[in-house]
Structure 1
Amino acid sequence: MTIETFPGSSGYIDAGGDKKITYFSNTYVLGLTVVAGIGGLLFGYDTGVISGALLYIRDEFEVVDQSSFLQETIVSMALVGAMIGAATGGWINDAYGRKRATLLADVVFALGSFVMAGAPDPYVLILGRFLVGLGVGVASVTAPMYIAEAAPSEIRGGLVSTNVLMITGGQFLSYLVNLAFTEVPGTWRWMLGVAALPAIIQFFLMLLLPESPRWLYMKKSKSEAIVVLSKIYDPFRLEEELDQLSSSLEEEKQRKNAISYLDVFRIKEIRLAFFAGAGLQAFQQFTGINTVMYYSPTIVQMAGFRSNQLALLLSLIVALINAAGTVVGIHLIDYSGRRKLALTSLFGVIFSLILLSAAFFLESSGYSNAGWMAVLGLTLYIAFFAPGMGPVPWTVNSEIYPESYRGSCSGMSATVNWVSNLIVAQSFLSIADAVGTDWTFLILAGIAVAAFLFVFMFVPETKGLTFDEVERIWKERAWGSSSSRGSESLLEKGPES
């Protein structure tokens, strides 16, 4: 670990000599990461808290208890908002910067939390869920992008994955809050309303932080960008970073002034990058992660554990494993690489989903220990998913797009995530009612097999590469190695360890 502090600096990373950049090399960058990652905490808290709150919402509103569709709508309306927030979040980030986008997300999220806490009926509650979703959608685009653009390439994967740790930490926190308020009058109102607190904290902390240095350099002020970058890199490395930014800026000037969303599909290398990024986001959801996180207490009850408190307690264990697995992922993503980590993760997910399917088949046949087998399946699923398919899609999407398309492509890709999330959340209970929980998890296992093949065929390794080097990969895939700069193909060479 290397930390050197100079007057006027927060301690920059010295890339000279044999000194190695590590996750803890620079407290300034780590501070930016943690504050930006509160957006991930909001994301995780919102996805986790509704699973427990729903048990008590059903108790208070009879109409909700009697309608699976209304339960799914309360859960998934936040996803509708997130879908819209992610779709507009890319444009907001490109036009106004990562910092302002974060501040806007915090305001909208806090407003939605207050509306939910005071909801007199299920329909006002649904409105609050929509507002919270808007904030989460913008944050889901902004946080990984902000972190990636401030992070040295050697540790970018681990730092971006910190945002995913905040997501899983938020989910774990939501289960703790759910348990804390189970005996308090107003139960679910406290569970949902307390979510405003981290949004307010992030708003005021974000006011103290700079804009993304890359966005500043490309869109606003080179001098402001240099001030920020000088707190991250030593003078030698700073010069290299500025050279790369200057080169990127020249390329942007040669492109069209107006960036069209249609260009994403018209330009072959951008299309290939977006296909890989959006595909990862879709498969992250269609392999069932938020089925588990939204409905884990319900799944536990389906497995035979009828007590609300016991269901929440067992779900808390699942959420703790999710957070712990993400910590493992932070180390592995820059050590073993994105692609290998995703493939290993999916292999374990397939096994776990088959085990879950078998557990529910045995439960329906009257097997006495099937409930514990289902809990084991949930636990293994999270243990395999969290280190790989949790952080990999967000990390890859934060680094695979050229500067001028990063906001729009990240927003579109996050929208794919939220649309997929919405489809899964809105359909899980209905499909389980129609074909049985055992067949539902078997279907998810089949999708996980397709995801494994997708990653193997279409997702390149980006570990340790600069943004410019990642751009070369897509040009090589689109037009052959002769189209990229440099004599050696990155596809053949691979990233340096």
Structure 2
Amino acid sequence: MTIESLPGSSGFLDAGSDKKISYFSNLYVLGLTVVAGIGGLLFGYDTGVISGALLYIRDDFEAVNRSSFLQETIVSMALVGAIIGAAAGGLINDVYGRKKATLIADIVFICGSIVMAAAPDPYVLILGRLLVGLGVGVASVTAPVYIAEASPSEIRGGLVSTNVLMITGGQFLSYLVNLAFTEVPGTWRWMLGVSGVPALIQFSFMIFLPESPRWLYLKKDKSEAVAVLSKIYGPYRLEEEIEQLSTALEEENQRENAVSYWDVFKLKEIRLAFLAGAGLQAFQQFTGINTVMYYSPTIVQMAGFSSNELALLLSLIVAAMNAAGTVLGIYLIDNFGRRKLALSSLCGVIVSLVLLSAAFFLESSGSSNGFYGWIAVLGLALYIACFAPGMGPVPWTVNSEIYPEAYRGICGGMSATVNWISNLIVAQSFLSIAEALGTGATFLILAVVAVVAFMFVAMYVPETKGLTFEEVEKIWKERAWSSGNGRERLLE
């Protein structure tokens, strides 16, 4: 069954009607979102599965067991690949389109999963990790943009956040798969190889899905773009969308030179947009989310729980809370707003990090019979409960909608690259910093970073809830060339 034949796919959205547009208003749009969001599932699964697989890789390869460097390389090589994939993904999106970029990412990811599953030695395994990282990097750029460009502005935030739900769902799935294959021969090969299945499913569906209508209209085929848009909007709203796209096309035709990476920093309005987008991506990582997701079992054991089984169980609960919180974020992001949601989320993150820091400081000061350990676990739970609905989906949503069409691929790729680089820095430094300064001091540093993140969002990130792409573009132009008073008005 193709997406076009889904029941309700003709239920287009028309601004001229009294019916309120909701997340489930059009199953055609929701179908596009879910299929594109499988890229997020790959993202989440790949980042989570290696923690369990590495235990069994060490058993099979003595060289890995003896070398911390090889272990770190196996884990981090996917992040290196993701950095490269995200950097290249923006250009691939702009030149070849969102659909072809997704198909390319799937092919690379499938090849990587096969290489990992069949790896005869750790060095081939590292190559496989690099390949899946490349696929994840391209997908991390492409999925939010594809979803955003096929979404009505009223529910764009919730639909783009579905991709983040797939990321957190993929992380939770990886924990379940790790548990499922613990007693199966070739344990880690199954854990890593099965990741190719979602990529194959996405590839099979994506062949039958349309290209992003905005990319089609501005880059390739207007009539095909209108055909896709007609399945999303009613006649009145369709006319408005086409008129906006026609204006955007005229502006692009008037541009003398092709878009370049240098333009992102040369043009003031684009530079301001990229500052907001890349800053959000960096702070998403530097406020510690992947410290929690990568090292939650270790944190639990640091808190005084030596049992591996208990540590894994509590980590599974953390992953489930992360996914559940993202579901809440899907509702809040279009009703509460991106900026308010991020600020509220960061307030909770600051409180939870201070609680974690205090628990570890007190734990290290003397015996507490495990009391402060449970306080630390409570801090972890509060952190996820506050982070998941806000700072989880907001950076990806904002980055999918704040750039003009001509720069959406390039800027989206660059900001995703910032995310992956920040991810790598945090993943590689947390345990070392915790060992050097103590866990309490490390979480206190993260709390200070979260305070800086709060100030950054308050100063530089405008509210984009319910705005069209063209209205968002006007925000940056007005902010770039207006007085300070105008800037304050845009921050409201």
Which interval holds the TM-score relative to the shorter structure? over 0.9
CA drift at 1:426? 1.5
CA–CA separation in structure 2 for the residues paired with 1:122 and 1:303: 33
Structure 1 residues 185 and 306, CA, compared in 2 at 3 Å: closer, same or farther?
farther
Q: 246-255 or 5-14, which moves further after superposition? A: 5-14
Tell me which residue corresponds to 2:449.
447
Alpha-carbon distance in 1 for matches of 2:469, 2:271: 17
CA distance in 1, matches of 2:431, 2:80: 18
Partner of 2:187: 187
Residue 9 of structure 2 contacts residue 28 of structure 2 at CA under 8 Å; is this kept in 1? Answer: no
Shift of 1:118: 2.5
CA distance in 2: counterparts of 1:395 and 1:491, whole angstroms: 23
CA distance in 2, matches of 1:6, 1:75: 40
CA distance in 1, matches of 2:78, 2:70: 13
Q: Is the 8 A contact 2:7 2:27 kept in 1?
A: no
Corresponding residue SS for 2:168:
helix
Deviations 1:406-451 (A, max 9, x none): 1000000101101111111121222222222222222111111111
Question: 1:74, 1:432 → 2: CA distance?
Answer: 22
CA contact (8 A) 2:13 2:25 kept: yes
Q: Distance in 1 between matches of 2:342 and 2:390?
A: 5
* Structure 1 pair 152–62 and aligned structure 2 pair: CA distance change class (3 A): same
Contact 1:52–1:312 (CA under 8 A) maintained in structure 2: no
Q: Secondary structure of the residue that 1:465 maps to in structure 2?
A: coil
TM-score, normalised with respect to structure 2: 0.94
Instruction: Identify which range, 119-128 or 266-275, moves more after superposition.
Output: 119-128
What are the residue-to-residue correspondences of 1:401-412 with 2, within 5 Å? 401-412=403-414
Deviation at 1:19, TM superposition (A): 1.7
Residue number in structure 2 paired with 1:38? 38
Q: Which runs of 5+ in 2 are unaligned?
A: none
Q: Are the aligned partners of 2:8 and 2:28 in contact in 1 as well (CA < 8 Å)?
A: no
Structure 1 residue 371: Cα displacement: 2.9
More deviation, 33-42/8-17? 8-17
- Tell me which amino acid in the other structure corresponds to 1:300: V
CA contact (8 A) 2:475 2:490 kept: no
Q: What's the secondary structure of 1:37's corresponding residue?
A: helix
* 1:341 aligned partner: 341
CA distance in 2, matches of 1:183, 1:362: 39
**Residue equivalent to 1:368:** 369
* TM-score for both structures, normalised by structure 1: 0.93
2:469 aligned residue (445, 467, 470): 467
Partner deviation per Cα, 1:234-265 (whole Å, 9 max, x = no partner)? 01100000000000000111113311111100
Contact 1:363 1:371 in 2 (8 A): yes
CA distance in 2, matches of 1:440, 1:122: 32
Q: Deviations over 1:59-98 (max 9, x none)?
A: 4445545554443332221111000000000000000000
Q: Output the CA distance in 1 between the equivalents of 2:397 and 2:8.
A: 31
Q: 1:272 to 1:153 in 2, by over 3 A?
A: same
Q: What's 1:485 paired with? A: none
Once the 2 structures are TM-superposed, how far is the Cα of residue 16 of structure 1 from its aligned partner? 1.4
Q: Quick check: 1:112 aligned with 2:112?
A: yes
Check the 8 A contact 1:179/1:313 in 2, yes or no: no
State the distance in 2 between where 1:260 and 1:273 align: 16
> CA 1:150/1:490 → structure 2, altered by over 3 Å: closer, same or farther?
farther
Q: Secondary structure at the match of 2:281?
A: helix
Residues 1:239 and 2:250 aligned together:
no
Task: Give the drift of 1:46.
Answer: 0.9
1:318 partnered with 2:318: yes
For residues 239 and 336 of structure 1, the distance between their equivalents in structure 2, rounded to whole angstroms, comes to 29
How much does 1:300 deviate?
A: 2.2
Match of 2:261, SS?
Answer: coil
Q: Distance in 2 between matches of 1:184 and 1:446?
A: 44
Q: Report the equivalent of 1:350.
A: 350
Once residues 208 and 146 of structure 2 are traced to their aligned partners in structure 1, the CA distance between those partners, rounded to angstroms, is: 15
Could you tell me which residue of structure 1 aligns to residue 74 of structure 2? 74
What is the number of equivalent residue pairs in this alignment? 486
Q: CA deviation at 1:135?
A: 0.4
Contact 2:461 2:491 in 1 (8 A): no
Identity of aligned residues (%): 80
Counterpart AA for 1:469? E
CA distance in 1, matches of 2:429, 2:167: 23
Partner of 1:170: 170
